[in-house]
């Protein structure tokens, strides 16, 4: 494996391991302070576009405005202050891509915070696979699949028989994964079954995910004429033409923001192959793989309980263009103005806040017993 390939598969994992070792020197496991901050729920947003209030929102703003997260706590190693309303609800910005793992670990290693009974809600937007879901929908993630550890050849240089130029490490052609890949372990458990680069598929706690889904499946999500018009453009995709709804599905996390029919085929194959047919691509994003990796390592250290992690992705755009539109135009039109952007942010709060409220209102029950 070349140095470049090694970094692609192992860079974030190696950095997390080194960070753990360094921080443990500063803050050993026994180093919790006397006046502990013990969040009941921590909402993890990956970015904010500007101010926390009153301007064009990112993933954090609706939580800040609607839950009155007015008190800020500075944490070394985290760019944005932790915010709280003083009622057990806290929120942070992790940063984007798998680098989000670094700030998640910085928080967990701060001796002022005890996160061992905290519920974590990764609250973010993502791209919808039109074969599975429409925009402005809310997806409770069952499995997170890491799409980064890979070989890649530019599409202009791939063999004519290949559908795309991305190949799993440990194989020599698309459409295959290493023979030693095992089914994903339960939350908080890991083994190496992906060609020497570590875990690729992470199962979230299925009972907690289903509990959250059952609580929220009837939540009415925002819809409007612009969303309806966008759905109609995907005339050959029945699921894309449905109105926004709450569902369960699987996510693919990658550091690069990909788009187009060919890349969608790769992403669908990747999820199907690595889950041995048990999963299918529903939503794409850039952070889930980093967050779950950090949670896995922190669980091993006894800093958090990985069974308490939920990921809620709402779909702000489609991952491929509608028929007759080029991938380039579709990508940059989405970046400039996607009709699903604000409805997706609204949907994330509407759905996520139901679960947050249920945990806070029943803390005596859920403090020691995970749903």
> Which pLDDT score is estimated for 9?
43
> Which pLDDT score is estimated for 336?
79
Say yes or no to pLDDT of 193 above 70.
no
Say yes or no to pLDDT of 239 above 70.
yes
Three-state SS annotation for 193-261: CCCCCCCCEEECCHHHHHHHHHHHCCCCCCCCHHHHHHHHCCCCCHHHHCCCCEEEEEEEECCCCCCCH
Beta bridge partners of 71: 84
Instruction: Report residue 324 as tokens.
Output: 């007759």
Q: Under 8 Å CB-to-CB from 288, ≥6 apart: which residues?
A: 122, 141, 144, 251, 253, 311, 313
Say yes or no to pLDDT of 210 above 50.
yes
Range 344-371 average pLDDT: 98
pTM: 0.89
Say yes or no to pLDDT of 58 above 80.
yes
CB atoms within 10 A of CB 142: 21
Residue in this structure with the two tokens 């779909």, named with its chain if needed: 315
> Which pLDDT score is estimated for 32?
54
Question: What are the tens digits of pLDDT across the range 109-167?
Answer: 999 999 999 999 999 999 999 999 999 999 999 999 999 999 999 989 999 999 999 99
Question: Distance between CA atoms of 40 and 234, rounded to whole angstroms?
Answer: 41
Question: What are the tens digits of pLDDT across the range 219-236?
Answer: 999 999 999 999 999 999
The percentage of residues in the chain with a pLDDT greater than 70, rounded to a whole number, is 87
Domains and CATH numbers, the chain: 3-366 (3.40.50.1580)
Nearest partner of 237 among 324, 131, 136, 128, judged by Cα: 131
Among 121-135, 173-187, 251-265, the range scoring the smallest mean pLDDT is 173-187
Q: Mean pLDDT for the chain? A: 90
CB atoms within 10 A of CB 360: 15
118, 40 Cβ separation under 8 angstroms: yes
Confidence of residue 179 (pLDDT cuts 50, 70, 90): confident
49, 56 Cβ separation under 8 angstroms: yes
Separation of CA 153 from chain center: 26
Question: What are the tens digits of pLDDT across the range 266-288?
Answer: 999 999 999 999 999 999 999 99
Confidence of residue 14 (pLDDT cuts 50, 70, 90): low
| CA-CA-CA-CA torsion sign (192, 193, 196, 201) | negative
Question: Distance between CA atoms of 173 and 158, rounded to whole angstroms?
Answer: 10
Confidence of residue 15 (pLDDT cuts 50, 70, 90): low
Q: Which long-range contacts (CB under 8 A, 24 or more apart) does 176-181 make?
A: 176/273, 177/273, 177/274, 181/274, 181/276
Confidence of residue 186 (pLDDT cuts 50, 70, 90): very low
Say yes or no to pLDDT of 26 above 70.
no
Instruction: Report residue 287 as tokens.
Output: 């952070």
Question: Distance between CA atoms of 188 and 191, rounded to whole angstroms?
Answer: 10
| CA-CA-CA-CA torsion sign (127, 128, 130, 131) | positive
> Which pLDDT score is estimated for 28?
52
Q: Give the CA dihedral 139, 140, 143, 148, nearest 10 degrees.
A: 50
């Amino acid at each position: 494996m070349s140095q470049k390939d090694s970094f692609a598969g192992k860079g974030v994992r190696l950095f997390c391991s080194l960070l753990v070792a360094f921080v443990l020197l500063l803050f050993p496991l026994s180093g919790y302070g006397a006046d502990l901050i013990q969040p009941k729920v921590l909402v993890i947003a990956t970015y904010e576009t500007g101010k926390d209030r009153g301007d064009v929102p990112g993933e954090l703003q609706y939580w800040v405005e609607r839950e009155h997260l007015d008190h800020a706590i500075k944490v070394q190693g985290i760019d944005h202050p932790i915010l709280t309303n003083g009622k057990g609800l806290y929120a942070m910005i992790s940063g984007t891509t798998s680098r989000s793992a670094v700030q998640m670990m910085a928080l967990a290693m701060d001796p002022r915070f005890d996160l061992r009974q905290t519920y974590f809600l990764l609250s973010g937007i993502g791209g919808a696979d039109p074969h599975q879901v429409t925009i402005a929908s809310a997806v409770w993630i069952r499995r997170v699949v890491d799409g980064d550890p890979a070989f890649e050849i530019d599409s202009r240089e791939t063999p004519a028989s290949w559908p795309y130029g991305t190949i799993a490490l440990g194989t020599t052609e698309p459409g295959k994964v290493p023979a030693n890949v095992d089914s994903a372990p339960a939350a908080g458990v890991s083994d190496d079954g992906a060609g020497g680069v570590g875990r690729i598929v992470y199962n979230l706690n299925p009972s907690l995910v289903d509990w959250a889904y059952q609580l929220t499946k009837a939540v009415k999500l925002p819809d409007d004429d612009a969303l309806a018009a966008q759905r109609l453009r995907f005339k050959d995709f029945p699921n894309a033409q449905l109105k926004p709804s709450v569902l369960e599905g699987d996510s693919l996390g990658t550091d690069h923001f990909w788009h187009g029919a060919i890349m969608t085929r790769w992403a669908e194959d990747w999820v199907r192959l690595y889950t041995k047919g048990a999963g299918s691509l529903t939503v794409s994003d850039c952070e889930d793989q980093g967050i779950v990796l950090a949670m896995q390592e922190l669980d091993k250290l006894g800093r958090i309980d990985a069974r308490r992690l939920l990921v809620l992705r709402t779909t702000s755009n489609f991952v491929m263009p509608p028929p007759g539109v080029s991938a380039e135009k579709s990508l940059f039109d989405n970046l400039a103005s996607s009709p699903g952007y604000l409805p997706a942010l609204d949907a994330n709060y509407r759905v996520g806040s139901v679960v947050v409220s249920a945990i806070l209102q029943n803390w005596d029950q859920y403090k020691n017993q995970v749903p």
